[in-house]
Amino acid sequence: MAPVLGICVIVAALGVTALDVWVLRSRVSMRVFTVVLALMGAVLGAGALLMIEDVPVSSWLLAPAVMAGLATLHTRALLAGSGPFRT
């Protein structure tokens, strides 16, 4: 559909996610952190779909929802109490 728009959306989502993980994580409540992380995961999934032609409606419904859950799960696993990137 729109590869340039998809790449811009993905880069923007990654930038906001990096800001959320490294800057805001210690300054906002865990609920706000998780909501922003899930939203950016959904935006990342939508950005990926923007780069593909003829995407079915089911993909537009499932991909953002799955990416929201996976982004949250992935970050929580990496930044857990004894996770590899926790200092």
At residue 81 the predicted structure's pLDDT band, cuts being 50, 70 and 90, is low
Segment 60-79 shows an average pLDDT of 90
Residues in CB range of 50: below 8 A, 6 or more apart: 1, 2, 3, 5, 6, 9
DSSP string over 28-79: S-HHHHHHHHHHHHHHHHHHHHHTSSS--HHHHHHHHHHHHHHHHHHHHHHT
Could you tell me the pTM of the whole model? 0.83
Segment 54-75 shows an average pLDDT of 93
Residue linked to tokens 């990926």:
48
Taking only the tens place, the pLDDT of each residue in 5-59 is: 999 999 999 999 889 888 888 888 889 988 999 999 999 999 999 999 999 999 9
Question: For residue 29, which of 40, 41, 37 has the smallest C-alpha distance?
Answer: 37
Residue 3 predicted with pLDDT over 80: yes
Instruction: Give Rg (Cα) of the chain.
Output: 14
Cα–Cα distance, 67 to 38 (Å, whole number): 8
